[in-house]
Structure 1
Amino acid sequence: MEKEILKWGMIGTGNVTERKSAPSFNKIKGSQLVAVGNRTAKKAEDYAERHGIPKWHRDPHDVIHDQSVDIVYIATPPGSHMEYALETIYAGKPVYIEKPMARTWDECCIINEAAEKKGVDVYVAYYRRSLDYFKKVKEIIDSGSLGKVLHINLQQYFPARDEDHQRNHLPWRVIPRDSGGGYFHDMGCHALDILFYMFGGPVEVMGKSTNMGGLYAPVDTISASLLLPDNLLVTGSWSFVTPKSYQKDQVEVVGENGKLQFSIFGFTPILLDLENHKESFPIVQPENIQMPLIQSIVSEINGVGKCPSTGLTAAVTSRVMDTISGLF
């Protein structure tokens, strides 16, 4: 499907599109955002006017069937991902889906099966796979400087947000029909996905989850044990109701020769601590954080590269989250 100009259509106009993703479509050579849609017509019109997008649609389905659109970016909450993705696939167009890929692993499988039958590509916005920060982490691990990796510990503790206390107006991220779960599905997925990218998919998964804060229905406190290839054990814990003063975002990889520390959201300097050597690697993130991954999609469609985040890789992360949360 090589294209001189790859023309994107976008469904959804939420915060993620303002800076993280959508500006990239027009910054990348051979790429252009040509249409946007939202169920609220005023939002679509306003977004198109502010960002100089040629067309806007009051019905998101019209974006999919717009003849000028080559590929569709689904930037809505996960509750509508499967619906829009399947319609895009049946229209014979590749699709780029915000993470998590869908509400459940079952929905991911339905999308992937449809894509395989139609011969259509599915990409998912696990953009950390393309960032220089995590490429550096992977480079250090792959170099062997740590020696044999012995174990990995992941800790993500975040405070409740102000909107979590508004019982009559809860954010969509904690409404299961919209998100598939709570903040674990929305945020924890990034940590799991990048570990699978670096070390390989899980062999075994065990987990326990509960709701300690009582602010909303989904779980807010999670503990998991994962066995990765080469008998590598990962222990992970997440809390989304931790007091702000105890907030933490850290991954520690321990090897025979030392340890490596990095973060998932904070992008704190990568710390390599060997027996006779310590080094810090501060790495600045791009202005539009999804741009490197979107570039890989454009390159793959034009036959000159490969996108590292697909429907198949993303489904693995969703299955693990469902298993840990007790949904699978």
Structure 2
Amino acid sequence: MDEIRWGIIGCGDVTEVKSGPAFGKVNNSRLVAVMRRDGAKAADYAKRHQVPKWFDDATQLINDPEVNAIYIATPPLQHEAYTIEALKAGKPVYVEKPMTLDATSAQRMIDAANELNVKLCIAHYRRAQPMFLKIKELLSAHIIGDIRLVRLKMLQSPNTSLIAKTANNWRIDPAISGGGLFHDLAPHQLDLMTYYFGAVKNAIGIATRQQEDTEVADLVAGNILFENGVVFSGNWCFSVAPKDEADICSIYGSTGHIDFPVFGNKITVTTSQLTEEYTFEPLQHVQQPMIEKVVDYFLGIGPNPCSGEDALITTKLMDDFTIKTNTS
């Protein structure tokens, strides 16, 4: 294989700018087919993005001989079935976050990839973005000394602009999303924590529904003790007033702290000697740096930028925080 020829299953809103166009901008990569159950919308997407083929059936896309890699961008409910079908067809898979509905489902996906010996990557794409790589560099350089504590606060109003608006609002249907807005946003944040701090020793949380007109928890609190002794404490609430919205993560060390928003573009480093800011230009396609790494991995010239095993850790944390019993 010397070129990745992508097929997208689920060419919805998330693929319009964040990911879809990037498949054609990365070296040795082309987008050759898209699929959506609404054939008219699939055809419209293909026309607007100059994609040669479109389908309204995922199996037809998976089995198209021109397609040699699959990107799954459906709601989480379909991730497991489509992933396993593509793996059985011998085609490597890149799956949107969250990986799937719960850790039991995630483990089945991992087992299938291992048994079939086909590559699997998960779209925790902040791992590849310059801003978050800079934070990892600062931590490795001990700019703030030995890491002690991480505090994360994600407070959003019910109509937060961070969530893409869709006709049926599937993100607050637990049968489709696995939970509520926590399950849509927290994977980015929790994956960064495991990327920075490694193995989890213990995790515990609480989740509650404070709005009457929702089926899912709109407030989640969680704590993690990492094997290296770092302690994480996070709070997510999706029912605050717009003026109280906040997105801040603070990493405290023995000689200072680092502050940054997970959905923003500025890092602030504060120590007794200095206060320094790093500002990053917004990316046109937020997944492009990750897609570059995925392409290299699929071509056999780079490591897996985020394995199923990596994403399983994040999925287990979400289950722990929301007290989810895995029965799927």
Q: TM-score range by the shorter chain?
A: over 0.9
Q: What 5-or-longer segments of structure 2 have no aligned partner?
A: 162-166
**Helix, strand or coil at the partner of 1:260:** strand
Q: How does the TM-score come out when normalised to structure 1?
A: 0.95
**Structure 1 residues 162 and 277, CA gap change in structure 2 (3 angstroms):** closer
Does residue 64 in structure 1 map to residue 33 in structure 2?
A: no
Indicate the residue corresponding to 2:113 in structure 1.
115
Q: Please tell me whether residue 272 in structure 1 is matched to residue 307 in structure 2.
A: no
Distance 1:149 1:4 in 2: 42
Task: State whether structure 2 residue 320 is matched by structure 1 residue 323.
Answer: yes
Give 1:266 deviation, angstroms.
2.1
User: For this pair of structures, how many residues does the alignment match?
Assistant: 320
Deviation at 1:162? 7.9
The residue number in structure 1 matching 2:283 is 286
For residues 165-176 of structure 1, what are the structure 2 equivalents within 5 Å? 171-176=169-174
Paired amino acid for 1:55: K
- Describe how 1:238-317 pairs up with structure 2 within 5 A: 238-267=236-265, 269-317=266-314
| Aligned partner of 1:126 among 121, 124, 127 | 124
The aligned counterpart of 1:145 is 143
8 A Cα contact 2:98 2:183, kept in partner: yes
Partners in 2 of 1:251 and 1:260 — Cα distance? 8
SS of residue matched to 1:21: helix
CA–CA separation in structure 2 for the residues paired with 1:214 and 1:200: 37
Contact 2:204 / 2:224 at 8 angstroms: preserved in 1?
Answer: yes
Match of 1:166 in 2: none
Secondary structure of 1:69's aligned partner: coil
Q: Tell me what 1:11 maps to.
A: 9
Give the secondary structure class of the aligned counterpart of 1:22. helix
Distance in structure 2 (CA, Å) of the matches to 1:307 and 1:251: 26
Describe the superposition over 1:280-304 as per-residue Cα deviations: whole angstroms up to 9, x where unpaired: 0001132100000000011112222
Q: For each residue in 1:215-265, what CA deviation from the matched residue of structure 2 results, as whole angstroms up to 9, or x when unmatched?
A: 311101011111012211111100011111011101111111111101111
Q: Which residue of 2 aligns with 1:213?
A: 211
Q: Give the superposition deviation at 1:61.
A: 1.6
1:177 paired to 2:175: yes
The answer as to whether partners of 2:211 and 2:239 remain within 8 angstroms in 1 is yes
Query: Counterpart of 2:164?
Result: none
Check the 8 A contact 2:8/2:33 in 1, yes or no: yes
Q: Matched residues in 1 for 2:98 and 2:113: separation?
A: 17
Aligned equivalent of 1:43? 41
Which amino acid is 1:47 matched to?
Answer: Y
Contact 2:7 2:62 survives alignment (8 Å) = yes
Q: Write the distance in 1 (CA, Å) between the matches of 2:125 and 2:269.
A: 23
After TM superposition, what 4+ stretches of structure 1 lie above 6 angstroms from structure 2? none
State the shift of 1:213 in Å: 1.7
Output the CA distance in 1 between the equivalents of 2:30 and 2:257: 43
Give, in whole Å, the separation in 2 of the partners of 1:43 and 1:113. 34
Q: What are the Cα deviations for residues 154-203 of structure 1, in whole angstroms up to 9, with x where unaligned?
A: 1110110189xxxxx75100001110110111101110001100111311
What is the CA deviation profile of residues 133-161 of structure 1, one whole-angstrom value per residue up to 9, with x for unaligned ones?
00001111110121111111111101101
Q: CA deviation at 1:85?
A: 0.5
Alpha-carbon distance between aligned partners in 2 of 1:170 and 1:67, rounded to the nearest angstrom: 34
Distance 1:303 1:92 in 2: 15
Structure 1, unaligned stretches of length 5 or more? 164-168
The AA in structure 2 aligned to 1:111 is M
**TM-score normalised by structure 2 residue count:** 0.95
Say if 2:3 and 2:299, in contact at 8 Å, map to a contact too: no
Equivalent pair of 2:119/2:298 in contact (CA under 8 Å): no
